[in-house]
Amino acid sequence: MEIITITDDKINCRVFREGCYMIIKGFLKNSSSYHKKLIIAPNPPDIRTSYSGSALPFPCQEIAYEKTKNFYEITNNGVIDVRFKFPNSYYNQEGTKKLVSPFALILDKNNYVYETKDLYPLKTLRDRVRGNPNFYAQKDVLLPVADAEDTMNNYSDLKLKLNLA
């Protein structure tokens, strides 16, 4: 299934999803003018169970790319034909923007990042309503001080009414 087509002054390619793999086919424009020509993508999602959930995006770029096997060196003819484990998303350095299942084109000393589609759109380290970092903290402000049973009931009502965690 085709996910996205990318055409700009550096690259012309189509990105496909095949099961748990991302396939990139296309070509690098003016490939002979670059010495270093790489495509690299983050590691696939960690499918583990935790309190927060499974297949969460990586918290930063460094962790996303750590020991990744999603690495491809483009040959001098500029042809791109690579199959990666589908990369996970990660947050930017400030932790404010999620880069969605990206791959990076590295040309000499320049790095170009291309985002694709999110396989896990509801998974986020921050919140369900994107852009609100107080997702977990709001209950402390909104819930009244009460005994354990009342707190549990109030919390349940709050989750249903305001979609809070």
Q: What is the pLDDT of residues 103-150, one digit of tens each?
A: 999 999 999 999 998 876 665 554 455 455 555 566 677 788 888 888
Report how far residue 68's alpha carbon sits from residue 82's, in angstroms, rounded to the nearest whole number: 14
pLDDT of the residue at 46: 81
Report residue 2: phi and psi, to 5°.
-75, 130
Token reading at 99:
């880069």
Percent pLDDT > 70 in the chain is 83
Domain ranges for the chain, please list them.
Answer: 2-114, 126-165
115 alpha-carbon distance from chain centroid: 8
Residue matched to tokens 């930017």: 92
pLDDT of the residue at 8: 95
Burial 42-75 (b: 16+ CB within 10 A, else e): bbbbeeeeeeeeeebbbeebeebbeeeebebebe
Token reading at 81:
């034909």
Instruction: Name the residue with higher pLDDT: 163 or 10.
Output: 10
Report how far residue 105's alpha carbon sits from residue 30's, in angstroms, rounded to the nearest whole number: 14
The sign of the torsion formed by the CA atoms of 99, 105, 106, 110 equals negative
pLDDT of the residue at 14: 96
Q: What is the mean pLDDT of residues 72-86?
A: 95
pTM as predicted: 0.70
Residue 22 pLDDT exceeds 90:
yes
